[in-house]
Amino acid sequence: MTRLFGTDGVRGLANKKLTPVLALRLGQAAAEVFTAKRESYERQPLAIIGRDPRVSGEMLDAAIASGLASRGVDVVRVGVLPTPAIAYLTDDYGADLGVMISASHNPMPDNGIKFFSAGGKKLPDEVEDQIQATMEKLTEDGPTGTKLGRILSEAPDGRERYLNHLKEVVSTDLSGIKVVVDTANGAASKVAPIAYEAAGAEVIAIHNKPNAFNINEDCGSTHIENAQAAVVEHGADLGLAHDGDADRCLAVDAEGNVIDGDQIMALLAVGMKDDNDLRYNTLVATVMSNLGLKLAMQEQGIEVRHTAVGDRYVLEELNRGDFSLGGEQSGHVVLPDDCTTGDGTLTGLSIMARMAKSGKPLKELASVMTVLPQVLINVPVSDKSVIMDAPEVQEAIAQAEEELGETGRVLLRPSGTEEVFRVMVEAADKEQARKVAGRLSAIVSSV
């Protein structure tokens, strides 16, 4: 059985792979799985549904809402809001599950469906597998009459609840900070500028006019050059770039230099340690984080724990160890005391709060970490499952690690979706990183 769920929900080309029929059946199956887990039946089960502004979200919203209601779940549709807002509202409304319809940073024709359990938490693999197994056994034997769910009109206070939450968790006055925000014509197009202005910042918003077709189109965190240019043009103190569903945030300093997720985590970790908010002096990052992050944190007396690639694995480790900060190089930053998933708007507020508290510009704060040159090569292979067992690959890795020593790193891993092997090399010198990555890639390709 091919697994329907990927690393972040069900995703694909809308109306081809991800059809309204599939969304309907996902809603029915999710309803059965989540209602079976309920401990109390004092009220009708409740689901929160949100989406980003891409055109296909409208039909998928209608389809999954119908699927849930047809299995006895009341649905509150909150409209266009960021993914972290849906996670928060799932908890705030006391819902049994939340649904976000978004393909994040993917192009407009794609879409995706991800679920949150009660409390706004991402689902473990086994629950996703339960939903898929239930979907494949669905019959037409659903409830009738008074046992059907209701589909309620869009909640008028969903956005306000989320904005009030952001204001409560980051109460620092940001007056005097001028920020450019690129919202990718996505889910944060209204929320992010309002949140930053409410905190006192002067906001210049770009790509904040979604029309159902322009999400992520040459803008946002995947095209950060727009924020770089706007920061310089407007003489701003920093720029922030979100993706389509606003669970990511990358930054730009006043000179137009990109500050990636690793650097954001580094400056936040140091600030949280100074404020005694970094529990166990530990930061959680993935194996793809730059070696420079680990070296910088060692100098600050902060331990870095590494997980597999994917914010869900960061979240699992944060929860397992009761840590207070984690994230990915891509700009997913998780502050579990204040959110149950990556929240790009909260990250932006936290960066500016650190600037305001320290009185230092972003470039100086980010300089706590030196980004080591990193080379990543995607190598097409015929069978990715045999690569790491090949003796010549193991020998080449050992030689590369000896050559690079403590100031370099080698990481080889298979793609999760293609017959591709990723070869990543970091070194103190860019040319050395290129040479080692090229040598390793050639060996991987020959296996």
Q: What is the pLDDT of residue 196?
A: 98
pLDDT tens for 326-359 read 999 999 999 999 999 999 999 999 999 999 999 9
393 Cβ neighbours under 8 A, 6+ residues apart: 387, 412, 440, 443, 444, 447
Is 247 annotated to bind a ligand? Reply is: yes
The CATH number that domain 161-366 falls under is 3.40.120.10
Angstrom distance (rounded) from CA 327 to CA 177: 25
What are the residue ranges of CATH 3.40.120.10 in the chain?
A: 10-155, 161-366
> For residue range 236-274, what is the model confidence (pLDDT) as tens digits?
999 999 999 999 999 999 999 999 999 999 999 999 999
Handedness of CA 209, 215, 217, 219 (dihedral sign): positive
104 assigned binding-site residue: yes
Which whole number is the average pLDDT over 407-432? 89
DSSP letters of 248-298?
A: B-EEEETTS-EE-HHHHHHHHHHHHHHTT-SGGGEEEEETTS-HHHHHHHH
Query: Residues 357, 348, 162, CA angle at the centre, nearest 5°?
Result: 110
Query: Does position 40 have pLDDT exceeding 60, yes or no?
Result: no
CATH class of the domain at 374-446: alpha beta
pLDDT in tens, 97-140: 999 999 999 999 999 999 999 999 999 889 999 999 999 999 98
Contact 247, 288 (CB under 8 A): no
Helix (H) or strand (E) holding 46: strand 46-51
Residue 200: both structure tokens together: 């006192």
Averaged over 4-13, what is the pLDDT? Answer: 90
- CATH number assigned to the domain covering 10-155: 3.40.120.10
Let me know: does 330 contact 248? Beta carbons within 8 Å: yes
Adjacent-strand bridge partners of 80: 51
100: three-class secondary structure by DSSP = strand
pLDDT at 418 over 80: no
pLDDT at 44: 87
Beta-strand runs (E) in 183-270: 202-206, 238-241, 250-253, 258-259
Instruction: Say how far apart CA 162 and CA 389 lie, in whole Å.
Output: 49
Grade residue 309 by pLDDT with cuts at 50, 70 and 90: confident
Any known ligand binding at 415?
no
Q: Which residues contact 134 (CB under 8 A, 6 or more apart)?
A: 29, 32, 33
User: Any catalytic annotation for residue 189?
Assistant: no
| pLDDT, position 419 | 84
pLDDT in tens, 404-414: 988 899 999 98
State the catalytic residue, choosing from 66, 70, 102, 104. Answer: 104
Strands 97-101 and 178-182: unpaired
pTM exceeds 0.85: yes
Distance CA 354, CA 283 (A): 17
**Cross-strand pairs, 203:** 179
Radius of gyration of the chain (CA): 22
Give 16-30 pLDDT, tens digit per residue: 999 999 999 999 999
